[in-house]
Amino acid sequence: MTDIPVLYEDLHVLVINKPPGIVVNRAQSVQEQTIQDWAEERIGSNTRSVHNEEDRVFVERAGIAHRLDKETSGCLVLTKNPEALSHLMRQFKERIPKKKYIALVHGIVVPKKGEIRAPVGRLPWNRERFGILPGGKEAVTKFVVHSSWSISHGKQKQELSLVELCPETGRTHQLRVHMKHINHPVIGDWQYAGRKTARNDRKWAPRVMLHAQTILFEHPVSGKLLEITAPIPDDMNRIIRSHDR
């Protein structure tokens, strides 16, 4: 597996900078190595004896406290023992951690600052996709536009914006669905940007351009606030630097 950069580590917590293109959790449909495989080897969760429910959850999850989509890069929190995992999972359930993502999206986003409040649910006609549904779960995303500009690809001109996204809730695909909802889908998003748009995007943007840049949470033992930041990956930086050309 690709070398996984470690952003923070102590006796209880491990925060990695997940590279894009790696699946977090094992599944029957996943053939390649996952972050879960890496975590079992790194933390040794699969060799731990199971005496109670906390132990079982820790072993099953390999200490992974939350998830990121395959193509999303950035901060991912893992734990080294069942007690720390239980504490972190409770924090996520109670929405204590604060996350900040950056994304490259289509178009010039206006206004420069705002909030998207729209319920997200799994689409009944396509169980692999999510959308804005009246019966969906509450979902709130705050956004700030850092910059907007145009770049050229052959004869085509593309307007795009660099935005900061702060999810107040943690629904599956929430950020991608919300940006699609306001007509500014994430660049390279093969599920939500539209087939033709995503196909054209992939000629110059290799993936869904979404990065989990910062996470703030309570240390499960000391209770102190930890704020961890993952550097912007090269594939996003290359596009961002085009703004200055």
Residue 69 catalytic?
yes
What's the distance, CA 35 to chain centroid? 14
Q: Which of 3, 82, 80, 83 is nearest to 35 (CA)?
A: 3
Residue 90, SS3?
helix
- Active-site residue identified among 37, 55, 69, 244: 69
221, 85 Cβ separation under 8 angstroms: no
How many CB atoms sit inside 10 A of residue 54's CB?
15
What's the rounded Cα separation, in Å, for the pair 176 and 215? 18
Cα atoms in the Cβ-side hemisphere of radius 13 Å centred on 192 = 27
The position carrying tokens 């925060």 is 15
Would you list the DSSP string of 179-239?
Answer: HHHTT-PBTT-TTTS-HHHHHHHTTT--S--EEEEEEEEE-TTT--EEEEE-PPPHHHHHH
Would you list the DSSP string of 12-24?
Answer: SEEEEEEPTT--S
What's the rounded Cα separation, in Å, for the pair 187 and 206? 9
Catalytic residues: 69
